[in-house]
Chain A
Amino acid sequence: MAPLYDRVLAFIDDAGTERFETLALEVFAHQFAHCAAYRQYCLTRGRTPAVVGEWQAIPPVPIVAFARADLCCGTPVRTFLSSGTTGGAANRSRHQLPDLRLYQRSAVAGLRRFLFPDAPRMRLVSIIPRADERPESSLAQMVAWAMEAFGSADSVYAVDPDGIAFDALVAALRGSERDGQPLCLFATTGALVRVIDYCREHALAFRLPHGSRLMDTGGDKGAPRHLSRRGILHAAWHAFAIPGYFCVNEYGMAELSSQYYDSVVADRVRGQHRPRRKLGPHWVRTLVLDPETLTAVAPGVRGLLCHVDLANAGSAMAILSEDVGSLAGDGFQLVGRAAGAPSRGCSLTAAQWDAA
C-alpha cells in the first residue's frame, strides 16, 4: 500500500480512490503515533485510535495548540506562521509541514474547483506579497502557486515594500480594460478596502472584461475601516465592474492546508442558483459544534467551526477553530470570529490587558 501522504495526494486528485473516513482514521493513527504532544492530548481525553471509530470523534486541537506545542509528524520542511496581529511572536501559530506537497496539491486543487473552474489560465493581479518576501505566510505561498498553476505570462504582483503599488495596480486594471482579457485580483480583505478607498479618493472606476474576478481573504484584519460583505460586493461592481457572482471570499487559516471559498463561481459553472455559502473540497469536512458542549449542532444553528482536513496529514488534521458559523446545505455560513470575553464588572480581564 502506498505511503499515507501519497494516498492523501491521490484522494485529493480523485475522490474515488477511497473513503474519506478510512483515510481520516488512518491519518489520526499516524498523528497519534508520530506527534508526542497530540498523543498526550488524546490520552488525556481517552480518545485513542483504538477507541475512535468515526471521523467525527477524532479529537480536534484548539488553535492555541499551534502556538504552544510542536504539531508535526516528523521534521518540518516548511513552517508557516499565523499573521498574529497582537500578542507577540509567542502567540503566533506555527504550522509545521513535513511534506509541502500536501499543501500545494490541496491549495491548487481548491483554487481550480472554486475560483478557476471555467478558466484554465488568466491574468492574475496580486496585492498579496510574493512568497519569497513573506516566506512565513501560507497565503503568500498559495498565491505563488496560483500564479504558477493559473496565471498567464502577464500576471503581476502590484506590491511594493510599503504595501500596495497603486500605480502598478491601476496599470494592470487599465491593461485588462484595454485588451479585453479578464483578470483575477488577489487581495486580503483589508488591502481590498484600501484599494476601494483609493479608487473613491481618486475618482477611479474600471470596467473590467466579463469573467474578471476577485478573491479576497482574511476578514477585517488591517482594514482602515469595516466594510460588510454587501459593501464589498457593491464596491467591486462600482469600482471594477466585477459582479457578485465573481467575487469569491476565501476562508483559510495558517493552521490549515485546505481552504474554503464562496460557492458563487462553482455554482455558476454548474448552472445552479443557490445562496452564497462557503464550500470546501472533498478532502475536508466541517463540523459545527455547540460552544458549550462541543457536540454537533443542527444545520442553521450557530456554533464553532471544527475542520477535519486530510491535507494536514503531516501536522494536525482535526482543528477546533474560534470561528463561528452554521451549516448550510453542502457548505456553511461563516459568521466571524468568536469574540473574546467582554467587559463585565470592574475587574480588568486578560483581553483588556492585552488590548491596553
Chain B
Amino acid sequence: MSLRAVRAGVSSDTRDADPGASVPAAVTPALLARTIAELRRARHALAARSTDSIVAALSRVVDAWLAPRSTWRTRAETLLPAATGFSPAMVRHALPTMLDPLRAPALGELIAAEAGARRGPELILHVLPGNLPGLAAIPAALSLAIGSAALLKAGRGDRVFPELLVESIAAHDAELGRCLAACYWPGGDPAAEPVALAAADLVVASGDDATIRALAAGARGRFIGHGHRVSFAAVSRECTTGEAAAQLAEDIAIWDQRGCLSPQLCFVEGDVAAAVGFATLVAAALRPLAQRLPSGRLSAAERLAVRRFRDEAEWRGFGGERTRLFALDGEGDGTVVVEPVPVFEPTPLCRSLRVVPLADLHRLPAVLAPARALLEGAGLAAPPERWPGLAAALAASGVHRVSPLGAMQRPPLDWRQGGRPRVGDWVAPRG
C-alpha cells in the first residue's frame, strides 16, 4: 500500500484570478463591532425563551424554505448560480438537501439528545467553509436553538445564502432574527477578523488546516475546528451493478464534489478487471448527470488540476501501468481513473474519482490506516449479511459516517462530523 502523491504545483508567482467570481465587499471593523454589540443585546431576550418555542419558530422557517414555490428558495436559486459558480440546475437540486435535515422533529430531538436543558454561550462565531451554498443553515439553527446568538462569517464564494437565511428567520420571528447576523470579510483580514475572534465566546470554524490553525490562535473563547476531510465509497463484489454506479455518480456530482462527504475514491472488491468494469459503469452514469445537473464554472486552476489528473493517468497507461482513464468531454463533467494497486489518495474534485480494486473489502482497514485522521464518510454497497461487519470495520478505521450509496450527501442532522457531537460541544459541560 502506498500513499502516492500527485503533485499539483503551486507557485507564488501566479495569482490565479477567476474572472467570473466577484469579490464581495468586506465588513468594516466598526460595523462589525456594532453588529456584535446588537447580537449580545438581542440575545438576552432569547435567554428567556423556551427551547420548544425557538425550535418551533425555526421549523416554520425551514418549512417556508422547503415549501413548493417558496419565495426564499426562489430568491436563492436566482442569486446563487452567479454568486457561487454552481449551475442553476445544481442549486435547484441540492439546496433543499441543505435544509431538509432541519425539518421537525429532527431539530428538537437533536437538541434534547445532545444539549438537554443546557444552553449555549452568548455569542457563537461560525466561520463557514468555501462556497458550498446552504451550509449556514444548520449552524445558525442549532445556535439559536441552544439560546446563543450567532455571527455567520460567509465564505468568499457564497455571501448570498447566509444573508437570505438571516432575513428569512427575521421575517418569521423578529426576536430570533435579531440574534443572528451574516457578514463577510476575506479570511485572515487583519482588521475585521480579530474583532470577531475576540468577541465570540465560541468559534466554530471549517477550513483547511492553515486556516483552522490561524483562527484557533486568534480566538478568545473556545474553539472548535473542522478541517478538510476525505470520503470514499466501497462496493462489494455482489454489488458492482449499474444501479450502484448510478447512485455513486450522483454522490459524486452533488455540489460538484466539493462537500466533505463527496466520495473521491471507490474501492471495488475484486481484481483490476472488476474495477475497470465498475469504473465503466460509473463513467457511463456521470454522462447523463452532466446534462441533468451540469457542472459549475471551473476556475483555470481547477481545469488545470483535472487535466493534470487525466494526463497523469493516461501517461501511466502509456508507460506500461494498468491504469485506465475514463474522461468525459468537459473537465467538470467527470473523470474516472482505475488505479491498478490499492492506494488511498484524493483527487482534484470536479467530479473525479479513483476506482481501486481490492481483493477483499475486509482489507480496507489496512488501506485506510495512513489516512485515518482525514476520513469522514463512506458510502457502502454490500449485501445485508455483510453490511454490519463492513460498517463496523469502517467505523473502527476512523470513518464517521457510513451510508448507502446515493445517500452519502444527505447526512441526518445528528451526523457526528469529524466524530464530534453536533451541538453537545457547544453548550456548557454537564454538571
What is the interface of chain A, defined by CB distance below 8 A to chain B? 36-38, 40-41, 44, 61-62, 64-65, 67-70, 84, 86-88, 90-91, 219-220, 226, 291-292, 304, 322, 324, 335-356
Contacts and interface: CB of A to CB of B under 8 A. Distances in A.
B264 A356 contact: no
Given A339-B16, A346-B129, A353 B5 contact: yes
A219 B11 CA distance: 9
Contacts, number: 190
Contact of B229 (A336, A338, A347): A347
Contacts of A348: 227-230, 260, 346, 374
Nearest to B8: A340
B220 interface: no
Interface stretch (B39-47, B74-82, B313-321): B313-321
Most chain B beta carbons < 10 A, residue from A88, A338, A339: A339
A36 B315 CA distance: 11
B13 A219 contact: yes
28 contacts: A41-B318, A65-B315, A67-B315, A68-B312, A69-B319, A70-B319, A87-B6, A90-B4, A292-B300, A292-B303, A324-B14, A337-B13, A341-B8, A342-B302, A343-B130, A345-B129, A346-B206, A347-B346, A348-B228, A348-B230, A348-B260, A348-B346, A350-B8, A350-B346, A350-B347, A353-B346, A355-B10, A356-B209
Contacts of B320: 69
B6 A91 contact: yes
A348 B208 CA distance: 8
Contact of B226 (A346, A352, A353): A346
Interface stretch (B146-154, B237-245, B251-259): B251-259
B68 interface: no
B132 interface: yes
B259 A346 contact: yes
- 6 tightest A-B contacts by CB? A336-B13, A345-B258, A340-B8, A69-B319, A337-B11, A351-B8
B13 A345 contact: no
B157 interface: yes
Interface of B: 4-16, 129-132, 135, 157, 206-209, 226-231, 255, 257-260, 262, 264, 299-309, 311-312, 314-316, 318-321, 345-350, 374
Given A37-B315, A345-B258, A353-B346, A340 B300 contact: no
A66 to B, nearest CB: 9
Most chain B beta carbons < 10 A, residue from A41, A44, A347: A347
A65 B130 CA distance: 32
A339 B303 contact: no
Nearest to A339: B16
Contacts of A343: 130, 207-208, 228
Given A336-B13, A347-B262, A348-B374, A354 B318 contact: no
Given A65-B318, A91-B5, A219-B13, 4 more contacts: A68-B312, A341-B304, A345-B130, A345-B259
B259 A347 contact: yes
A45 B307 CA distance: 15
A322 B10 CA distance: 10
A353 B11 CA distance: 16
A64 B304 contact: no
Contacts of A68: 312, 315-316, 318-319, 321
A84 B14 CA distance: 19
A87 B308 CA distance: 14
Contacts of A70: 319
A64 B312 contact: yes
Contacts of A36: 318
Contacts of B307: 62
Nearest to A336: B13
A165 to B, nearest CB: 28
A5 to B, nearest CB: 24
Contacts of B16: 338-339, 342
Given A338-B300, A349-B348, A353-B345, A64 B308 contact: yes
A354 B7 contact: yes
B228 A322 contact: no
A346 B132 contact: yes
Contact of B14 (A38, A87, A338): A338
Nearest to A294: B307
Nearest to B15: A339
A36 B320 CA distance: 10
B409 to A, nearest CB: 11
A345 B135 CA distance: 10
B304 A347 contact: no
A339 B258 contact: no
Most chain B beta carbons < 10 A, residue from A91, A336, A353: A353
Contacts of B348: 341, 349-351
A345 B255 contact: yes
A45 to B, nearest CB: 10
Contact of B132 (A338, A345, A354): A345
